[in-house]
Amino acid sequence: MMGSLQILFVLLFSLVLIKCYSQEDFLECLSKYSKSNVEQNVYTPTSPTYSSILEYAQKNPRWVNSSHPNFIASPRKESDIKPIILCAKKLGLQIKIKSGGHDYEGISYRSKSPFVMLDLSNLNKIEINWKKETVWVQTGATLGQLYYAIANKSDVHGFPGGVCFSIGTGGIISGGGIGTMMRKFGVAADNVVDARVMDVNGKILDKKKMKEDLFWAIRGGGGASFGVILAWKLKLVRVPEKVTVFNVYKKLEGNQNLLQKWENIAHQLTDKLLIRVIIQNDGTGKDKYIEVIFQALFLGPVDELIPLLKEKFPEFDLEKKDCFQEPVVDCSNRPCIKKECRETTWIGSVLFFYGRRTNESLEVLLDKSIPTQKNYNKGTSDFVKTPIPESGWKMVQRLFLEEERPQMILEPLGGKLDEISKSEISFPHRKGNLYNIQYLVNWGDNSENVSSQKLAWMRKLYKDMEPYVANSPRTAYLNYRDLDFGSNDEGYSYSKAKIWGEKYFNGNFKRLAKVKSKVDPNNFFRNEQSIPPYQSH
């Protein structure tokens, strides 16, 4: 017994020595390769600011107690990243890239191997060329920072990015970028005109220097498989001075016909109008019911919108006066609010979709505070090619009534998305899809008992939805990443990765793997669902 304890002590002591030695090695290596003291912005678990940087990174704090980075590197200049890559390669450390986004499965800040979290949040410069209507944005900038920079100077420009403005531009754009203006202008990645990427050797490549295939791959294929995306050059879009937003609240029970009508026509409406659907629980106890919110952005004034709605969706009962007055609250007949509407600016619509008032200060777009109340969640996704029958919606209603905080968000495609080929960029979800579904379940107590119950509920919902959604393959959106689809094993096998890779990328997966073979043949940039190099056998 005594001998076993001594062996254990020696092993533990050795591990401590190895850890200290590797820390010194890494920092020493950085000082050798760097001319600008990059090691000053590298933090270890004993550094005072390590915990706060990590906590801010963990937008979904489900993995607070799982493996933490051996180092957090928060470079201040793009050139500072080269020594981090070279030293990580030299010492066998993995690099996980964090641009500031939600990262549903937390793969940018946890790993089974020793790793460096490359935190890009200090790289947030934004330079707008109003004459050419383009913007260079470093990938550590959030969507909120980008939207703020645009709206602070112009009422007639916007960018078709995502709804949640707290996410990083690096992640959302490299994964595609579904948003409220996609039916008019395509997804965010459709509006990328150039990029700066640091490759596995520390070279900075722009569109001219990178192979055409790499520029294709990073627009929808997820950038972290190929290198470090440093900055995007984006095409700004022209938006009207006045746009209109509204929410119409209904109960799911008794309104399945309206939901099915939406399924049939939302993707065919004018591309100036996006009506998405949010399905969630409301009320408690005996009053609990399933709420359906029809939430819309119309790129034009109220006067243009109302006649269109009277023709297509008279059930919404929306009138011009609703857009210039506070909504009526009456809880004697649920839902308490039936409708709310605002004529506003494009940036007002951004605030509205994020649950803010349309006239709120734009400074809210720059908020980077860490939420005091923790929200744990699990998400996944589907694409739908044929309308879901009533039996499907009854199943959803039954399962939703069993759960406390579930949500489904349905976003219609069509419009501009139908006009762009599935292989134009690596984001493939185009013509033939009616809408996309994001599933979420949220909880506030992350004990093993509660979280396993929530995960089991989500997996049951996903399984029960199978007959109603796209199949062969069943498809999904990369930015709502789900490790339940499978993850890379130690061998990073192409044939195993195909199982989840074809869900995200359909027929584009093989081409993505071939790009990977060219730009990173030794698979340095890797994670649980990174694209492995192509193998023909």
**Residues recognised as catalytic:** 480
Residue 392's identity, in one-letter code, is G
User: How distant, in Å, are the alpha carbons of 284, 380, 499 from that of 486?
Assistant: 36, 13, 7
- Asked if the bond preceding 473 is cis, omega within 30° of 0, the reply is yes
DSSP 3-state percent helix, strand, coil across the chain (nearest 5) = 40, 20, 40
Cβ–Cβ < 8 Å for 232, 309: no
Q: Give CA separation, 237 vs 176, 240, 241, 473, in Å.
A: 17, 10, 13, 34
For residue 234, list its beta bridge partners.
135, 192
The alpha carbon torsion through 476, 482, 484, 490 (nearest 10 deg) reads 110
d(CA 82, CA 30): 9
In the numeric block, which tokens belong to residue 314? 């008279």
As given in the structure block, the two tokens for residue 218 are: 């990073």
Q: What's the full length of the chain, in residues?
A: 537
How far, in Å, CA of 472 to CA of 113, rounded? 34
d(C-alpha 296, C-alpha 298), whole Å: 7
How far apart are the C-alpha atoms of 326 and 341, rounded to whole Å? 8
Hey, what are 13's tokens? 């002591």
CA distance 142 to 137: 9
Q: What letter does residue 520 receive in the DSSP assignment?
A: -
Nearest to 120 by CA among 223, 235, 236: 223
Pick from 43, 36, 37: nearest CA to 57: 43
Tokens of 399: 């399962």
In degrees and rounded to multiples of 5, residue 137 shows phi and psi of -130, 125
Q: What are phi and psi of 164, to 5 degrees?
A: -80, 110
Residues 6+ apart with CB under 8 A from 97: 108, 118, 120, 170, 223, 224, 228, 525
